[in-house]
Amino acid sequence: MELYFFYMFSGGMIITSLLMITRANVIHAALLLVLTFFFLAGIFVLAGAEFLAAVQILLYAGGIMVLYLFSIMLMNVEVAVRMRQWHRQGVVVFVAAVLLGLEIWAVLKGVEFPAAKQWEWSLGATPGNVEALGAVLYTKFLFPFEVASILLLAAMIGAIVLAKRTIER
């Protein structure tokens, strides 16, 4: 049962992301990316990380993608659609893709996929549980957590400084 759902979600993800990169209309591409996020959230739920799935939808789909759409909507999409999407880089892209494919093949060739590893900080009987996640985040991973928050704070201050300069001018 779970396997069918996994194939459904991962297949959906592959199809929507392929459609996303082939659309000429940017709005359609953005909406397809949202759909990809949904399938990804589905895979998170299957993996027992329902909190992560909800964060995925709340932040990426409900927050960041709305801001993307917000800025895309302000440009003239029709001109972009009519423009010919060709940058004379076909050969370079082909070589790069072949090299990347070989690299991935070389890395994955010798790997035996093991059973899912049981981490020592396992989230316990009810995985994805908010309490367990909070406990792990504020004990075992306190330092990385604080580093990430300082990084975000710095980015926020930087954004305010940049925005303020243009207003004053």
Partner 1 sequence: MDMALEIAVAAIKIFIVLNVVQLVVAYTIYVERKVIAHAQMRLGPMRVGWHGLLQPIADGLKLFLKEDIIPDKADRIVFVLAPVMVLVPAFVVYAVLPFSATFYITQINIGLFFILAISSLGVFGIVMAGWASNSKYSLLGALRSAAQMLSYEIFLGFSVIGPLMLAGSMNLQEIVHAQSDVWFVFYQPIAFIVFFIAAMAETNRAPFDLPEAETELVAGFHTEYSGMKFAFFFLAEYANMFVVSTVGIVLFFGGWEGPDFIPLPGFVWYVLKLSVFMFVFIWLRATLPRYRYDQLMRVGWKFMFPLVMLNIFLTGFLKYLFL
Which residues contribute to the site for partner 1 (CB under 8 A)? 25, 27-28, 31, 34, 50-51, 54-55, 57-58, 61-63, 65-67, 69-70, 73-74, 126, 128-130
The tokens 């090299």 sit on which residue?
99
Comparing CB distances to partner 1, the nearer of 8 and 65 is 65
Question: Can you read off the two tokens belonging to residue 147?
Answer: 């580093």
Rounded to a whole number of angstroms, the minimum distance from the CB of residue 62 to partner 1 is 3
**Least distance to partner 1, CB of residue 28, Å:** 7
Min dist. Cβ of residue 32 to partner 1 (A): 11
Identify which of 54, 11, 61 has the alpha carbon closest to the alpha carbon of residue 32: 61
Nearer to partner 1, 67 or 91 (CB): 67
| CA dihedral over 109, 113, 118, 121, signed as positive or negative | positive
**94 three-class SS:** helix
**Is 13 within 8 Å of 39 (Cβ atoms)?**
yes
Nearer to partner 1 by C-beta: 66 or 142?
66
Is 74 or 115 the residue whose CB approaches partner 1 more closely?
74
**Encoded tokens for 149:** 């928050």
